[in-house]
Amino acid sequence: MKLYYSPGDSSLSPHIVLRESERRFDLERVDLHTHRTSSGVDYLLINPRGDVPALAIDDIGHEVLTEGPAIVQYLADLVPDRRLAPPNGTFARYHLQEWLSFISAEIHKQFSPLFRSDTPEDYAGKLRGMIAERFSYLQDVLSDRAFLMGETFTVADAYLFVMLFWSGKFHIDLQIWPNLDDYEFRIAQRPSVLAAFAAEGLADRHHLRRSA
């Protein structure tokens, strides 16, 4: 398998899940401006939409998955013993998909315009306010559990962690929500996250406020 990624982008979520799975995989960096990969390949031939992530399932690239929520569920199903996702067909699996949909539609979607330099500041402020509302909801959710699905880390936590990582870039202070702040800190210490950060050159950019 090969994951096409851009450092710190939404591809970080499946990257973390790949590390959690402990399966062998390759990484190939994508320049999102030129749409060329680090080996000189035209990335639009792999993913015509030009964004990351994309996961090439086989060596010749005939099978490619895009969209993080689909990729992380595929990866979780390859290693059921890791419990990164509940089994297909169970009600718990639908709860996982509920969380992935919430993160995608209610948080990720609000962050996306903030990455564009032409987004008006008044609109950016409104988006940050909407994100803060979702974070307040998650503050309550995490009052009685270690992770979104309970006491087990799942692919939904990898996705939410990336959203929390982005918060520092846009001056959203997680210390306003102590449960969420603690959750981010704990996930940041997982070996899978540390390895993904190191591979993407992000280690020095992660704004840990406390010592491990």
Specify whether the CB–CB gap between 124 and 116 falls below 8 A.
no
**Domain of 51, in residue numbers:** 2-81
Q: Looking at residues 115-123, what average pLDDT do you find?
A: 96
Instruction: Tell me, yes or no, whether 74 and 112 share the same domain.
Output: no
Least confident range from 115-124, 128-137, 179-188, 195-204: namely 195-204
Residues 63 and 8 in one domain: yes
SS3 content of the chain, % helix, strand, coil (to 5): 55, 10, 35
Same domain? For 153 and 181 the reply is yes
Please, are residues 4 and 31 in contact by the beta-carbon 8 Å criterion?
A: no
Average pLDDT value for the chain: 94
132 and 181 belong to one structural domain: yes
Give the mean model confidence (pLDDT) for residues 192-197. 96
Q: Tell me the residue type at 71.
A: I
Structure tokens at 22: 């402990």
Q: What percent of the chain has pLDDT over 70?
A: 94
DSSP state of 90: S
Q: What is the pLDDT of residue 186?
A: 96
Answer whether residue 200 is part of any domain. Answer: no
Long-range residue pairs from 90-93, CB within 8 A, at least 24 positions apart, any chain: 92/149
Report the number of distinct structural domains present in the chain: 2
The per-residue pLDDT for range 126-166, each reduced to its tens digit, is 999 999 999 999 999 999 999 999 999 999 999 999 999 99
Residue 212, pLDDT above cutoff 70: no
Query: Which CATH number fits the domain that encloses residue 69?
Result: 3.40.30.10
* Sign of the Cα pseudo-torsion (167, 186, 74, 141, in order): negative
User: What is the model's pLDDT at position 66?
Assistant: 97
Q: What's residue 62's pLDDT?
A: 79
Instruction: Summarize pLDDT for 19-73 with one digit per residue, the tens.
Output: 999 999 999 999 999 999 999 999 999 999 999 999 999 865 579 999 999 999 9
Residues 106 and 159 placed together within one structural domain of the fold: yes
